[in-house]
Structure 1
């Protein structure tokens, strides 16, 4: 990708935004070197990286990248034997700590799949010992601490003692000889403590003069009595400096020993910072990941120019490379043609650099071998070239270099010369580019090109919309509709006389009028289609709301009906319970009565049994059994089939078929018509067939080859299963089916456990599709 195209499309402004998102100098350096790639594998990998980081930013908000600096120069200097400063050593420790924090953060993102970023984080080596050694010697401000060594602690103590002695001696001067001093203070010159002495008292104080004021009236003198103390202080400071250098040398050697790990950490941290900078830019742009292809296909939904403010930019749909390979955009000046041209080019460069683009999800972009552009007025005074010559020079270079994997962007193709010749030249250039199967977008003013796309394969017209009422462009791109000049409409709106306008219209040729009428018809059709779409959308929303209301009312009805049933049954049960209690009381009293009319015991038992049977069974919600799905039956529905009406989420029955894909169904007490797509087959009542039944030897008891346990309690079901197995074995069956339904799976597991422990069962397996699937367990018997 040549540098000129990056400059023309202002790619450097995207780079500047990316640099601002980097958290460290490492990421900044990588952001400045951002360049598009022409290899689809590389571009796809970059997009994967950005997408992973974007998910982290979206879910976590931020990433800990603080404290990371570019320590590569310091590491290299340490390796060649230089001694690092305290701040350089501190940067190394800070970068180690920052890397550890970032690695811990990424390792804890267990709910997000991050194969690439996790791989980079795994390369970070936590050099805890080196970090601890540096931070035990140097504080957060870059100062060597007293505890860095025992010798340094002793020297610092000695320095403080000497400083106190010198200050005490000089404080005595400020108190006893204040009139000889310009100011009663102690100051420092040449790293030695001195007093500001008036010129006339120089001899009275005595000692060494280190400096004087600008006027010469004040001398900064070191009294003779503190010279020796200052000398001792200076010696201690020199030794302190040597000790600090020794400690720094040892730390530098340790850093040099871990050169390989440190360089590895720096590279991984730089890459991670760069990836997250791209993700932050995507987040701020409200961008989305494009799917990359190698087929020259561009498909962007509501794409926006990345360098125009969000409150000003107009989003547009752009498609190229499937039904057509060239777009010719016509329309008025300042209508947005050039902006659209630059937007497509800049988004292409961004995508090939691993950046997401400001468009809706689902967009698709191609990886081009080159992007060429001839945009703007490039007239060169030095080369004595006209605007036309300058454009043609660029176009000639492009035509000599492009191939079928190139994207070409021409702004005002053929402009700057005679309109007829320019239009003919523009059409010839477009024919040449289209013939080579390159992708091209061109803008033009020439009316001759308005009909160009109608008689050329692979070419389509487009325009930027203009509002005649407001006399302003809307900046909307209209694919398939060539632009109109709107000169007569605008002139009329501005007050030009109708007679003048009609006279002007009479000078327009028949062909031009036909083209303008065709364009007007297309625009009317588009507006009508948009209006119809909006109306249909409103109707759809109303229908969906009505459907939700009906479903809500139906559910409320079901809930209230169930509540009424339950209330009635509870009332009935209370009445029966009360009656039973009263009857039992009477029975007890009768038993206690010694009478000749005493009833027999079996008659009491029979009466009590009849009383218990009078108790109503309360309605209990059974767990819905999943129907065994029969694909063949589901394809065709017949009267009597049980179905589920998806729009109401209710079960019903097919009454009759009223059309090709329409049926009359009964849902409860309601009858209605429904489309086939809204009906889900549940089951079909098969005609009852007389099955041969096995007869248990020695009895008249008949055993079926299957046992239905659906709706039974777990313990009751296992008791039935145990008894049934005895009967099946006596009947001589080799295979039986246990129907338990899907439900929660507890009964299915219980049947399997029973089969595993039973000595007469060889194996247990789930039923096939024709046998009932997971709702049936087939037992093979010995």
Structure 2
């Protein structure tokens, strides 16, 4: 565990957590992590005093088991634990905490022992009468010594030799600080010297009082031993309980330390799940002082990190492994609570050079030993830094391609960092492999510490070398030796990454626009619902007032007296006048060419400026306010609109710069090659690599014939020997 913590750069973070423990222990939990998480969550809602600092008591428990006698200070360590749990049981906890502390029954004999001690670990007065008598005698003896020394200080003969008028306690003895030559006046023993060269002297005249004190101290030790023996006998009787409560104290100590640690740094607990989803959201590695939060999706079996040197690939690998480790043992860390982390039985970090001269193991041999152990294990998460380390890159690419595909079939997740483009290209077609490329800012010539999903990144080795002091002329020579064809391939890779980034930004912009549209739609729907409710209320009010007016009119008709009939009719008229008809305001949008009505005349809108419009009414042009116009009919002439033709071409999501046709029949190969070239053209690639192998030559012949006749293929040549030689073609589009 310690080795893994050091590999992942977590030692400082874990040490800070341990500083909150009441006593030293490992961070490993025993039991169900979900149960621990529940109790930690509940404890976070309460405020109470911290656990006391307690020594490790494993050897003391063994001593009790063997009927040994504990020292009084060792007994007090147990008493501190007992008193703390008695305090916790008095708290008004609920839920799981209540059930936990309710089950802890402290025996009355153990509680009685805890009452023997004060807060300083001393036996209280009243526990043992003889001990109380000895303590009283010691107190009187101390006062007698101090009284005698005070009298001695004030004697005339001693005054010239006194440095000060204080009584000094030196190594448990009361002494006076005197100048040289004091022995002519006072007989005594020198017990120490001060920095100024003076002497701490204990007068011989108090030797009888000191002897009496020593006798009392010895008697006190005998009494304390007797009490310790009785308590140790009681502890032996309740040994099982003491073992249990000692273990429970570690449990509550684990909880409280983690809560205090999380509060000290605004850290979160992420409970591991049994889900296959592994997503880090805004994770910050504890070892970084000013980290750039990373968000990464590890739902597939393999993550392959490529791209610029010193661009953060290794730290992403360590972050993924660290999140699993800290989540597994409920160590709080900085991340968004939306993060989801699976539970793994084992965590393996293959980060260092395994070369060992003593055991005759080379770098590559050591890597093979590390990988060989993985095939016999399950529920593992493995991080491999610089996977191609120590051997020929082409051979390593084929070997590790096979190894990783076999590991994918098991319950193992693998994180890989590499600069090996061939291995990345070979694995890019596997649905269980996710590619991430570390990005490089070419304008400012430095890594961005950001990652682009779904693409292979350039290493920028020459740029990195220049950044770290390699002379420019050496880099230029190296570029010439490297070869133009490889540079073009790197440019193609970079172009692909740039296009992916642009597409990602466009998608984000489109998502934001869709979100805004949806919010606007919801707002309009709410406004419509409110308007409908207001309309229904107004209709009900109108109906009620109309019915009341009708009733008044009927009463007027039935009235026999003419004057009374007029009175009812007047009342009905009054009701009709008071009826309020709701005015429905409708926003009318006017456009040039609309037919409108202005007062009693009709015309056509010629132009609109602000809140006014020029209107042609029977050949007379007038400027009027828009609010004074009403729409009337259709425009005199409706302009014909040209039909819009839209062609949507979707960029392929999995387009790559290479295609492997090994093992295919000619017709299958040509079909895949045709689709591959179409996808590359859409993606904007101008140079690609096609592997067909040598074999019998049939597949090679079919590929060449197809490329000769394809209208979008400018030219093709055999690949460089490092890229397949005669068994591959570099195709320019």
TM-score tier after normalising by the smaller chain length: 0.5 to 0.7
1:289 and 2:267 correspond: no
Q: Deviations over 1:326-361 (max 9, x none)?
A: 332221112222122222222233344455675444
Please give the alpha-carbon distance, in whole angstroms, between the structure 2 residues aligned to 1:212 and 1:436. Answer: 75
Provide the TM-score with structure 1 as the length reference.
Answer: 0.56
Deviation at 1:378?
Answer: 5.2
2:83 match: 97
Deviation at 1:445?
Answer: 1.4
Deviation at 1:100?
Answer: 1.8
Please give the alpha-carbon distance, in whole angstroms, between the structure 2 residues aligned to 1:503 and 1:217. Answer: 84
2:505 match: 527
1:537 match: 515
CA contact (8 A) 2:307 2:460 kept: no
CA contact (8 A) 1:405 1:438 kept: yes
Number of equivalent positions: 536
2:118 match: 139
2:432 to 420, 435, 458: 458
Please give the alpha-carbon distance, in whole angstroms, between the structure 2 residues aligned to 1:346 and 1:74. Answer: 36
Provide the TM-score with structure 2 as the length reference.
Answer: 0.59
**Secondary structure class of the residue paired with 1:292:** coil
Matches within 5 A, 1:255-294: 255-279=235-259, 284=265, 286-293=267-274
CA contact (8 A) 2:109 2:234 kept: no
Question: 1:88 and 1:553, CA in 2 relative to 1: closer, same or farther beyond 3 A?
Answer: farther
**Secondary structure class of the residue paired with 1:334:** coil
Question: 1:62 and 1:170, CA in 2 relative to 1: closer, same or farther beyond 3 A?
Answer: closer
Deviation at 1:130?
Answer: 3.9
Please give the alpha-carbon distance, in whole angstroms, between the structure 2 residues aligned to 1:285 and 1:189. Answer: 48
1:56 to 43, 56, 62: 43
Please give the alpha-carbon distance, in whole angstroms, between the structure 1 residues aligned to 2:384 and 2:154. Answer: 88
2:370 to 359, 374, 397: 397
2:25 match: 29
CA contact (8 A) 2:306 2:436 kept: yes
Which shifted more, 334-343 or 458-467?
A: 458-467
1:329 and 2:305 correspond: yes
Question: 1:182 and 1:423, CA in 2 relative to 1: closer, same or farther beyond 3 A?
Answer: same
Give ranges in structure 1 of 5+ residues lacking alignment.
Answer: 577-615, 617-782
Question: 1:195 and 1:268, CA in 2 relative to 1: closer, same or farther beyond 3 A?
Answer: closer
**Secondary structure class of the residue paired with 1:287:** coil
CA contact (8 A) 1:289 1:361 kept: yes
Deviation at 1:301?
Answer: 4.0
Q: Deviations over 1:577-626 (max 9, x none)?
A: xxxxxxxxxxxxxxxxxxxxxxxxxxxxxxxxxxxxxxx9xxxxxxxxxx
Question: 1:342 and 1:178, CA in 2 relative to 1: closer, same or farther beyond 3 A?
Answer: same
Deviation at 1:97?
Answer: 1.4
CA contact (8 A) 2:258 2:331 kept: yes
Give ranges in structure 2 of 5+ residues lacking alignment.
Answer: 553-574, 576-733
CA contact (8 A) 1:125 1:261 kept: no
Q: Deviations over 1:374-418 (max 9, x none)?
A: 324556677787xxx414422343135424643332222224555
Deviation at 1:29?
Answer: 1.2
1:477 and 2:464 correspond: no
Matches within 5 A, 1:524-603: 524-545=502-523
1:152 match: 131
Deviation at 1:520?
Answer: 4.1
2:101 match: 121
Question: 1:560 and 1:508, CA in 2 relative to 1: closer, same or farther beyond 3 A?
Answer: same
Deviation at 1:99?
Answer: 1.0
Please give the alpha-carbon distance, in whole angstroms, between the structure 1 residues aligned to 2:304 and 2:185. Answer: 98
Question: 1:198 and 1:319, CA in 2 relative to 1: closer, same or farther beyond 3 A?
Answer: closer
Please give the alpha-carbon distance, in whole angstroms, between the structure 1 residues aligned to 2:500 and 2:151. Answer: 102
1:445 and 2:392 correspond: no
Question: 1:318 and 1:250, CA in 2 relative to 1: closer, same or farther beyond 3 A?
Answer: same
2:204 match: 222
Give the CA RMSD over aligned residues. 5.1
Deviation at 1:232?
Answer: 5.2
